[in-house]
Amino acid sequence: MQRTGAEAPVGAISDLGDRELWDRAAGGDETAFARLFERHVQAVWNHAYRLTGSWTSAEDLTSNTFLIAWRKRADVALVRGSALPWLYTVAGNLARTERRSASRRSRLLRRIPDPPDVQDHADTVAAQVDGEERLRQVIDAVRALPPAQRQVVELCLLGDLSIADAASLLKVAEVTVRAHLSRARAQLRALVEAK
């Protein structure tokens, strides 16, 4: 008979690694999944913020990432016993999907003529926030990278994954990840300095 989270001692749950917690969560143990959430929510939120440059979007991406994790918990293979690489990948995929949706919405909105003499309050606020503008420039520069380099940058530089974990997740050699990082850093430096 499988133990549920209510029966497991609290100290025992918090001492378990991601793989053990994930296996318990896959069996329906909500307490184990809650522990995984507590362990990784801040890192996933930080990663989502670095991908989007928006607190609100980061919160939405984080919520959706863990919702997907709960729904797919029985089908997920962890990388080196850590849930974080998979969670970062889900957040990155969700961010790209949201960018595409936002781009489509933006194209539709551009077809609608602006009313005369109306100032956009969002533009005024955005102009005052220099730190967020700089982050957006970096995010735009990352988006301009070739897909393989962008993935490595999102995982290693924005997501703080090790080169070994990124290589394992992407199913490539570590030297390939290092090469992509080196090229990406050079391109990012050139793109950011050109602005």
Write the DSSP symbol of residue 82: B
Q: Report the predicted TM-score, pTM, of the whole model to 2 decimal places.
A: 0.58
Q: Identify whether residues 24 and 96 lie together within a single domain.
A: yes
Considering 85, 112, 139, which residue would you say is the last residue of a domain?
112
How far apart are alpha carbons 176 and 154 in whole angstroms? 15
- Supply the DSSP string of 42-79, one letter for each residue: HHHHHHHHHHHS-HHHHHHHHHHHHHHHHHTTTT---B
**Domain assignment present for 192:** yes
List Cα–Cα distances, 38 to 17, 55, 169, in angstroms.
13, 19, 23
Can you give the pLDDT at residue 127?
58
> What is the CB neighbour count within 10 angstroms for residue 110?
9
β-pair partners for 82 = 79
pLDDT on residue 138:
76
User: Do residues 136 and 192 both lie within one domain?
Assistant: yes
Q: Are residues 55 and 101 in the same domain?
A: yes
User: How many CA atoms does the CB half-sphere of 123 hold within 13 Å?
Assistant: 3
In a domain, 73, yes or no: yes
pLDDT by residue for the chain (195 residues), tens only, comes to 344 444 445 456 777 888 899 889 989 899 999 999 999 999 999 999 998 888 999 999 999 999 999 999 888 878 788 888 999 999 999 999 888 887 787 877 777 776 666 566 666 665 556 667 777 777 888 888 888 888 888 888 888 888 898 898 889 999 998 999 899 888 888 877 776
Residues 102 and 29 placed together within one structural domain of the fold: yes
Same domain, 163 and 192: yes
Residue 91 sits in the same domain as residue 141: no
Listed in sequence order, the DSSP H helices in the chain are 10-15, 18-26, 30-52, 55-71, 84-110, 121-128, 130-143, 147-152, 163-170, 174-194
167 and 108 co-located in one domain:
no
Is 184 a member of any domain?
yes
Domain span at residue 31? Answer: 14-112
Cα separation, 190 vs 170, whole angstroms: 26
Residues 139 and 108 in one domain: no
Distances (CA, A) of 30 to 7, 13, 65, 175: 11, 11, 16, 39
On whether residue 7 sits in a domain, the answer given is no
CA atoms 122, 124, 125, 128: torsion sign: positive
In a domain, 160, yes or no: yes
The total number of structural domains that make up the chain:
2
Bridge partners, 39 (sequence order): none
β-partners of residue 133 are none
